[in-house]
Amino acid sequence: MDTLTAMRLANPKLSRFSPMSRIISFDDFDDGFCGYTQLVGNYEHTLDSMLAGYAQHTHPQLSNLANWDSGTHGAFDGNYALKIQTRPKRGAQNVALKRLTFREPGPIRLEFYFTFKPEANELRLSETDVRSIGFLYDLQTGFEKGGTRVMPHVRFLNALDGEHLQKWQTKSRTTAVLPLGTEGKTVTHYHLAPTDWEDLKNGEQKLCYNEIPTKVNWHYVRYDFDLRTMRAISLQCNDRQWDMSGVDPIVMPAMRNLWCMLNICFFAEADTDKRALFYLDSVCLSGEFA
């Protein structure tokens, strides 16, 4: 075992991750919000110009997973997790993100520990009340002619219309890019529209889901992506792994102001008129560069 690996395995906070050689960010939400904020939609002159899909977003929260029947659940380690909470409406979404840029277009690895639940306002399992939880990168190449903005999306479709589907999906199309306002500087598009999700091949996965809506178990995700080719490499969730090389991300022409953008977004969707709660214990982003 090399020294770097030995040092990481000896660190209890890092030993449950398998980062690439360079850790870009390690966010343990016991330490605060760590740069995660709400995704606010674009607007010009008035907030009324924001698309409805973005207007519904609210600020993420630091949660100790407090339950009415059993008290505080706590996080994977420590007390706090980042909570992304939708409004109590079927189809409602919420998104939290961290905004970075990259310095080396090479392989990057996103790892995180997560769980999800609906608001526990009924005395039943409620296992189909959360529609999905997911994540995406919002990326743009370094400044170049013919550059691209690339947005790989991945979600775990837990349920749809009350059916417990439990499968991973990806997306390779977004809605039309529309101008906002009158200054010709701002545009918008709704990449989290419910349309155009596609099943990942063999992407069904039975995640541990405990017996009542106030018990949670934490899950692990690892997602490898190459910033040079702007294509996904692989996805892992707990004991399952998928080759993602054949999965196309959303690709569009580069925007004039987003060069080298590296945004990490996490989102939740409700399938009933009940708040969906997506919890992140910790997130590690690493890359393979000197």
Residue numbers at the binding site for another protein (CB under 8 A): 32-33, 38, 40, 47-48, 50, 55, 58-59, 61-64, 66-68, 80, 83, 85, 87, 119-121, 275
C-beta of 37 vs 238, nearer to another protein? 37
Nearest distance in Å: CB 63, another protein:
5
Smallest separation (angstroms) from another protein to the CB of 262: 23
Looking at the Cβ atoms of 190 and 259, the one nearer to another protein is: 190
Give CA–CA dist 260/20, Å, rounded.
20
**Cβ 180 to another protein, closest distance in Å?**
15
Minimum Å distance from CB 108 to another protein? Answer: 27
For another protein, give the closer residue by CB, 31 or 243: 31
Q: Which is nearer to another protein, 50 or 268 (CB)?
A: 50
Give residue 135's identity as a one-letter amino acid code.
F
Neighbours of 66 (CB within 10 A): 11
Beta carbon nearer to another protein, 150 or 277: 277
Contact 145, 231 (CB under 8 A): no
